[in-house]
A and B are shown apart, each in its own frame.
Chain A
Amino acid sequence: MMGQCDSRFSSRGHLTRTTIIIMPSTLKLNAVAFISPQNHPILIRTFSKQDENTIKYHYIAHTSLDIIEERANMTGKLGDCYLGLLYSMEDVAVYGYITPLKVKIVLALALSDAVVKDVEVIMLFKAMHMAYYSAISNPFLRLESSMDSSIDQSPHILVGSPKWKNFRKRVDEIARTLGTS
């Protein structure tokens, strides 16, 4: 499982934070959501100022699953990870991404009257995917998780729990880098 992720990344070049810094970007990231293959929330992180809107991004993440599932089913196995614009609503444009292991990443970008380049969004997604991937690779996560019958589910969920700060830190860093560039 890990090997698969690994090869994917190594074959696509280095998708580290530095890549983001180089990219001049107009994107404003409002929130990012990581959702497990079983559609449970892993981590939902909001970056907009008003904190009372957090719940809104939970809703957005949850509703995005519909379209993600639809698109993923449509393209089948050959489909790309990047699912494009899922929908735009109110003041956000929602983009979707599905990793080969069916972890879904949802980005809520502030809606602006400008063309959002797919390349940039993909960059951002890949950085997020990388963050998730390196967080999930933490061997100590497995210590905590029960080796339950629901095989690999627990580490997915665990990685987003407040106890494991690394993942949040990475995600926040990506958001910050995006904001400053």
Chain B
Amino acid sequence: MNSYPPELLAQLAPVMFVAGLEGPPKAPQESETGAAQAQLDPFQILSIRLREALVSQRKVAVWQPDKSKTFQVVLVDKEVRFPPRKLVPPDDPQYTNSHSPLSPLTPSSPLYPDGLIAPIWIRKHTTLIPSVFVMFMRIFEYPPHVLRSPLEGHDSDKDRLEEERKRDSELASDIAQRKKGTNERGVKLTVVLMASRRLLDDPALDSRLTYIRRQSGLDSRAALFVLSPVSTAELHDFVRSLQQALYEPALEYYTVHSKRVRRKRNRHSQATASYPNPAVQLANPNISRPLRPEGWTVRYEYKMACFAEFRGEDEVALKHYQDAYATLTIMFGSTAILPPRTKRWAEAKVLADCINIKIVKLYLYNNEHALALSHHNTHIRQFGDFSRGWGIGEETYEFWSWIARQYRVLAEMIDQGTRSGLVIPVHQPTASSTGAAPAPRPAGLPDLDFARTLGINPSHALQHSGFYYYMAAKCTDMRRARFQAALEAENNNNPIALSPGFQNEKKVDHLSLLYTKAYELFKKYAATPALANQTTSRLTLWIATRIAETHYEAGKFDVAVRFFERIAKTYRKEGWHALLKPLLSTWYSCAQRMGDVELSIKLLIEMMGQEDLAESEEPNGLEEDLLALFQSTVPSSTEAALTFDLAGARPIFETDAVFWKAEVNVEEPAAFQLPITAPTRTVISSVPFSSLEIHISHISNPVIVRHSAEAQEESTPSTSVSRVDLGIINLEDGLQLEIAANLRWKPGSVVLFTGALVSRKPVTLSIKKVIFNIEQNSWKVQVPVEPRPPVLGSTSEPRWLRSQDPPRFIAVKRPDHATTVVKPRPHLFNVSVIHHEPGFLDEDYPIVIEVVNHDDRDLEVMADVLLQPTDIDYAINTISVNGETSTGLIKDIPFGVLAPGVHASKTLHLASGGSGGDRLLDISISANTPQSEETSGESSDEDEDEPASPVQIDKTVYQETLTVPTIAPFAVDSAVMYARTRGEWQGLASLDTFAEDYFDERKGTEALVNIKLDCTGPWGVYIENITLDATVCYTSLPPAIIIDLEGKSAPEIRIMDSSVDLPDGNLFPAEYLAGDELNLSCRVNIGVRDDGKSEEYLFPSPGRYTVSWRRILRDGSHGSLSKTTVSLPALNPPGDTLVALFDIPPTATLHVPVSMTVTIRNYHPTRSANVTVQMEPEVTDGFIVAGLRSGRVPVLLPGGEERLEWTLIPLECGYQSIPRIRILDRRKAIPGVPATTEEVPVDGSTGEPVKLIDLRRDERRLIQADGQGEEGEATIRLLESGSNFGGVLVVPS
């Protein structure tokens, strides 16, 4: 951009002259600003600030799209003079015919006679003539004096007024003078009077201002301002409002100019008809070529464009610029109008370029990227075409220099633009244009948008400035190339059409780095979030390549090399060998020039590997270069070998290690093949490889293959594959293996190393790397190559040579073909787990684990057993072995060291509690070889590190999951019967009943508990013993009862007797087989605490049977002793209120009296009972009854009983029914009149019958009734069997 006159490029803005802001005398101000500032009076400070505010608001720049009505401020002297409009003074008669000093018609003008427009014209309008003139002046202020006395006031006022009037007149005349000058040019004059704040408040100020304005002839509008010293912020406000006010006049000023120019243009275009103007020709007879009408059009259009730009009317300016540009191209089209390579031609070219820039810029202001770029491209194309006509076509450096400049200017402008708001669009298709057919266009879419949806013109797509810098740099490259050609031609004394600029061109530094700028910008734009994590983007790499190449051209080889190093890394990594190849050759040239032999060697070796890219003209070239290097140079140090260490570089040879098997056992040979394939297109057959080191994992000494000439001669293989056998390599041997072989490769030939690895330890075998040693003279070069490195592009499949002549291969499809795992030999042993399911609950269930060693080695066997948790309720399961018991895991159960053939067994005991179900056991048995003395003694040093590596744990593990179904040994069924006690109750007042530990069993109930054990299991059970323990199992009680028990108010339970305790009936021990049943019964006495709550009790289980049993094993023997506990059921005796118990012996002898008793008991805790009894013997009864016929029983208090007795004499034999007895509870019959109980006649005819129970049959069961109730609930029904009266059997005497 600097190559163009700045006037022609800068954004124009209205120009404002500001006068009267001269600072105080400079000397003190500049030397010590801080101190001087303090001494300055407020007005001086004000003017300094004003100057700053005005000047700093706008910088002259190319890119300035904002239209904030700011002026370009030029500080001038008050007495500044405008340049003369015309050369002659206005009073001269020639005035009307003469022209401006810059006009091509004026002979003294630089444009005379045929110039178009000169930068000086713009400069005139930007620096010499303003559109508005602002003059800052001080209004006179009478020094403020202190009134000493009121008398003085009048006089001094008068003086003051006079003085003011005088000074104001002077001021006005100054202004008038100035005004005259500005009026001539149509420039608006504005005066800003600076006054103190005091004056502002002075009422006289208005009249003074009016006076000054009248006197000076200032406009009435926006021509006179008063400003007092204010703060900087307020000052900015002032500046802004001043400009607002003056903007309109400024626009008017430029409009007037525009109109004037347009008038002239119109006049001119009318005059063109008569062109060539004879008058002009006559007036300037010497000039052969006056400015042509096209030139005038350009001139006027350009001027109008400029004035429009001054006004900020971008569209108008654009239009005029375009017109000017169009006419200019017409002019260029004809060599007659603009003869090439003349001064005017050069000027016009600059003008055209500048107008192009303006047009592009104005388009970009408006975000019309496509139009801008389109114009730019057209410009380049058009003038490119012209250039060819002018003899400066593509073959010349001028052409490229010019194009480079165009791109560079564009880039700079976009760069500036992006810094102040220009947005580079993203050219990603917005609408997801998925289908083949474009989406139907919405109706109201404008055409432009529609065009965008279809696609874009790529050459009109705005990109960031880096691209244009790149283009510029690229063109500069071309320019340099052309220049070099020209230079060469000159040196050969065969100059090709020496152009005038050639000498100049020689002075230009062609290698200045435009690429660097592009690089920076690409880097900047690449720093989007998506790519931020990448260190360098690929775009920048490309440019970096160019930079490096330029450095190379410039002879800065070291810099270039640094670039190459960095760039090569990415290209190697991503496998872009096509890009790497030219890079390497340039790099190599650099290294050569730098004399860096080592780098040269490395690069040559890398280049040898770059073989897959077609045409290398000299396949021997690299090899020869390398050999020449070896011959001609000496390494820097003779001891250390030069190692080829360019990371990621593609190796010369393609190597690949293939193991035949994925796994081998210890001491089993693992066969491998290591093919080393030479490049096919690069010849390396005379590269002096001296030896080859094959590094195998876990071997410290590499296998060395030495080159031998004999081998070379004898093995002239008919095929391209030659085989070298390395034999069996023992990892532990530690021997240095050396083999001689031919180490010269023909293009594309393969040397295949075969062998087998044997390891005594379990390891992972692989071939780590192959080092190629090149030795020649004193050079030693090491080229390490990893078998099949992860470099991309190596596409050959892994394969296994099966026949050498002709070569046949088998594809190896294993993914990890390059490694093989050496596994320890498995240990052979058998495990059998013996047990007899199902197991019984509570049983000590034996599981026998038997291990047999089938190996030929000693084995140390251990077992781990895990009992898996079950979700069965209350199941507490344990396993135990060797006295160790666990509910979960038992680890490391030793079986000891087993000699071959020996078997060992362990018995695991499983105890299952709770209820039946499956129990799961995980049994894992591991066997390893015990560390024998000989191995540890032999290689003690190796043993030390062995435990560290887990690979070394040589173990074979057998696992089994065992399911043990478990069932209960007995099915338990229980039945309970309740009966009333027979004994006599304690008297109510008996003192004993109040004792703390009194147990009134007679008041309670007697329960007969019958338990049936049913042997369900498949196994027989040998019951040794059954005992009944009367302990109450508190834990199984509901909590409420426990509290009651603690409160000592619970019923008491006593087991009276049990069938197992019968002294003579001991059945045990006895064997019970499946299906056998066994009944156990016992009697329980339930006493009642006399607390009246007995009905609410649930009586806890009174005790439990403990069954000691053994399982009857298959062989008839008995297993270990197990104990099963069978709890008695909880008791729930039915309650009673008032009951009559009837008792009579079941048999009687004829005519022998028997006694019959009825016991009336009042169980009710609180109510007394009033009971009547009536004996109702009938004639048909077989008895004579002696005793109470009808009577009233004394009132029965709660807990009281009354016993009545009759004597019966049987009269007949046989089964006789008992005489009928009616017992009535009178109290219940008349509940409403308890007071009259006494008076009720004792006829026994009223009242409710009291339940009469035959004690002989007294038996109550709680029976689960079927759900016949309304809600279908299962209810517990009481089955009372005692209410059925039995008879008496009378036998003859």
Residues of A within 8 A of B (CB): 12-13, 15, 19, 38-41, 44, 54-55, 58-59, 62-63, 65-67, 69-71, 73-75, 80, 82-90, 93, 109, 111-123, 126, 143-150, 153-154, 157-158, 161
- List which B36-54 residues lie within 8 A (CB) of chain A: none
Whether the Cβ atoms of A115 and B578 lie closer than 8 Å is no
B351-359, B659-667, B807-815: which one contacts chain A? B807-815
| List of A residues within 8 angstroms of B814 by Cβ | 147
Residues of B within 8 A of A (CB): 374, 377, 426-429, 432-438, 451, 453-461, 463, 467, 470-471, 474, 526, 528, 530-531, 537-539, 541-542, 545, 571, 574-576, 578-579, 582, 790, 792-793, 795, 797-798, 811, 813-817
Whether the Cβ atoms of B458 and A111 lie closer than 8 Å is yes
Whether the Cβ atoms of A145 and B377 lie closer than 8 Å is no
Whether the Cβ atoms of A41 and B575 lie closer than 8 Å is yes
B583 (CB) vs chain A CBs: closest residue = A55
Whether the Cβ atoms of A69 and B578 lie closer than 8 Å is no
| List of B residues within 8 angstroms of A87 by Cβ | 427, 461, 463, 467
Whether the Cβ atoms of B429 and A80 lie closer than 8 Å is yes
Distance from B414 Cβ to chain A, minimum over Cβ atoms (Å): 14
Whether the Cβ atoms of B436 and A147 lie closer than 8 Å is no
Whether the Cβ atoms of B461 and A88 lie closer than 8 Å is yes
Query: A40-B574, A143-B811, A145-B797 known; A109 and B530 CB under 8 Å?
Result: no
Whether the Cβ atoms of A113 and B457 lie closer than 8 Å is yes
Distance from B87 Cβ to chain A, minimum over Cβ atoms (Å): 48
State which of A115, A146, A148 has its C-beta within 8 Å of the C-beta of B454.
Answer: A115
Query: A70-B530, A144-B795 known; A84 and B428 CB under 8 Å?
Result: yes
| List of A residues within 8 angstroms of B436 by Cβ | 12-13, 15, 19, 119, 122-123, 126
CA distance A54 to B582 in the complex (A): 12
The 4 lowest CB-CB distance pairs between A and B, nearest first, are A93-B458, A117-B455, A40-B575, A85-B427
Distance from B907 Cβ to chain A, minimum over Cβ atoms (Å): 49
State which of A12, A39, A109, A157 has its C-beta within 8 Å of the C-beta of B458.
Answer: A109
State which of A40, A58, A75, A126 has its C-beta within 8 Å of the C-beta of B792.
Answer: A40
| List of A residues within 8 angstroms of B455 by Cβ | 115-121
State which of A15, A63, A161 has its C-beta within 8 Å of the C-beta of B795.
Answer: A161
Whether the Cβ atoms of A113 and B792 lie closer than 8 Å is no
Whether the Cβ atoms of B530 and A69 lie closer than 8 Å is yes
Whether the Cβ atoms of A66 and B538 lie closer than 8 Å is yes
Query: A80-B433, A87-B467 known; A41 and B578 CB under 8 Å?
Result: yes
State which of B454, B575, B816 has its C-beta within 8 Å of the C-beta of A118.
Answer: B454
Whether the Cβ atoms of B542 and A83 lie closer than 8 Å is no
B451 (CB) vs chain A CBs: closest residue = A115
Known: A58-B579, A158-B795. 6 other contacts (CB 8 A): A41-B578, A59-B542, A62-B576, A80-B433, A82-B429, A146-B797
State which of A62, A74, A82 has its C-beta within 8 Å of the C-beta of B433.
Answer: A82
| List of B residues within 8 angstroms of A109 by Cβ | 458
CA distance A116 to B433 in the complex (A): 14
Distance from B128 Cβ to chain A, minimum over Cβ atoms (Å): 43
Whether the Cβ atoms of A88 and B528 lie closer than 8 Å is no
B459 (CB) vs chain A CBs: closest residue = A111
CA distance A153 to B815 in the complex (A): 13
Whether the Cβ atoms of B576 and A58 lie closer than 8 Å is yes
| List of B residues within 8 angstroms of A63 by Cβ | 538-539, 541-542
A19 (CB) vs chain B CBs: closest residue = B436
Distance from A39 Cβ to chain B, minimum over Cβ atoms (Å): 5
CA distance A115 to B437 in the complex (A): 17
What are 8 residue pairs bridging A and B, where the CB atoms are less than 8 Å apart in the complex?
A19-B436, A59-B542, A84-B427, A87-B467, A119-B437, A121-B455, A145-B795, A147-B813
CA distance A19 to B530 in the complex (A): 36
CA distance A89 to B543 in the complex (A): 12
Distance from B574 Cβ to chain A, minimum over Cβ atoms (Å): 5
State which of A67, A85, A148 has its C-beta within 8 Å of the C-beta of B461.
Answer: A85
A154 (CB) vs chain B CBs: closest residue = B795
| List of A residues within 8 angstroms of B433 by Cβ | 80, 82, 118-119, 122
Query: A73-B530, A87-B463, A154-B795 known; A65 and B538 CB under 8 Å?
Result: yes
| List of B residues within 8 angstroms of A119 by Cβ | 433, 436-438, 454-455
Distance from A109 Cβ to chain B, minimum over Cβ atoms (Å): 7
CA distance A149 to B816 in the complex (A): 8
Whether the Cβ atoms of A113 and B463 lie closer than 8 Å is no
CA distance A63 to B985 in the complex (A): 114
| List of A residues within 8 angstroms of B432 by Cβ | 80
CA distance A120 to B460 in the complex (A): 18
State which of A15, A39, A90 has its C-beta within 8 Å of the C-beta of B471.
Answer: A90
Query: A69-B531, A88-B458 known; A62 and B538 CB under 8 Å?
Result: yes
Whether the Cβ atoms of A89 and B470 lie closer than 8 Å is yes
Query: A80-B432, A146-B817 known; A157 and B793 CB under 8 Å?
Result: yes
Whether the Cβ atoms of B454 and A66 lie closer than 8 Å is no
| List of A residues within 8 angstroms of B575 by Cβ | 40-41
| List of A residues within 8 angstroms of B377 by Cβ | 113
Whether the Cβ atoms of B526 and A83 lie closer than 8 Å is no
CA distance A148 to B434 in the complex (A): 35
CA distance A39 to B537 in the complex (A): 13
Distance from B536 Cβ to chain A, minimum over Cβ atoms (Å): 10
| List of A residues within 8 angstroms of B429 by Cβ | 80, 82-84, 118
| List of B residues within 8 angstroms of A126 by Cβ | 436
| List of A residues within 8 angstroms of B471 by Cβ | 89-90
Interface centre among A59, A86, A111, A123 (most CB of B within 10 A): A59
CA distance A99 to B906 in the complex (A): 65
Distance from A151 Cβ to chain B, minimum over Cβ atoms (Å): 9
| List of B residues within 8 angstroms of A122 by Cβ | 433, 436
Whether the Cβ atoms of A55 and B530 lie closer than 8 Å is no
Distance from B514 Cβ to chain A, minimum over Cβ atoms (Å): 15
CA distance A80 to B431 in the complex (A): 9
| List of A residues within 8 angstroms of B460 by Cβ | 113
Distance from A13 Cβ to chain B, minimum over Cβ atoms (Å): 6
Whether the Cβ atoms of B542 and A62 lie closer than 8 Å is yes
| List of B residues within 8 angstroms of A15 by Cβ | 436
| List of A residues within 8 angstroms of B816 by Cβ | 149
Interface centre among B453, B456, B811, B816 (most CB of A within 10 A): B456
CA distance A15 to B434 in the complex (A): 13
| List of A residues within 8 angstroms of B467 by Cβ | 87-89
Distance from A50 Cβ to chain B, minimum over Cβ atoms (Å): 14
A81 (CB) vs chain B CBs: closest residue = B434
Distance from A153 Cβ to chain B, minimum over Cβ atoms (Å): 8
CA distance A157 to B463 in the complex (A): 33
Interface centre among A69, A148, A150, A158 (most CB of B within 10 A): A148
Whether the Cβ atoms of B456 and A149 lie closer than 8 Å is no
State which of A12, A67, A115, A161 has its C-beta within 8 Å of the C-beta of B457.
Answer: A115
Whether the Cβ atoms of B457 and A71 lie closer than 8 Å is no
CA distance A73 to B428 in the complex (A): 12
Query: A19-B436, A158-B795 known; A44 and B578 CB under 8 Å?
Result: yes
Distance from A91 Cβ to chain B, minimum over Cβ atoms (Å): 9
Distance from A96 Cβ to chain B, minimum over Cβ atoms (Å): 9
Distance from A59 Cβ to chain B, minimum over Cβ atoms (Å): 5
Whether the Cβ atoms of B474 and A90 lie closer than 8 Å is yes
A82 (CB) vs chain B CBs: closest residue = B429
Whether the Cβ atoms of A85 and B456 lie closer than 8 Å is yes
| List of A residues within 8 angstroms of B793 by Cβ | 40, 157
CA distance A161 to B539 in the complex (A): 26
Query: A19-B436, A63-B542 known; A93 and B574 CB under 8 Å?
Result: no
B575 (CB) vs chain A CBs: closest residue = A40
B581 (CB) vs chain A CBs: closest residue = A55
Whether the Cβ atoms of A93 and B459 lie closer than 8 Å is yes
Distance from A89 Cβ to chain B, minimum over Cβ atoms (Å): 6
CA distance A19 to B578 in the complex (A): 33
Distance from B435 Cβ to chain A, minimum over Cβ atoms (Å): 7
State which of A13, A54, A118, A149 has its C-beta within 8 Å of the C-beta of B815.
Answer: A149
Whether the Cβ atoms of A147 and B530 lie closer than 8 Å is no
| List of B residues within 8 angstroms of A80 by Cβ | 429, 432-434
CA distance A83 to B579 in the complex (A): 24
Whether the Cβ atoms of A71 and B795 lie closer than 8 Å is no
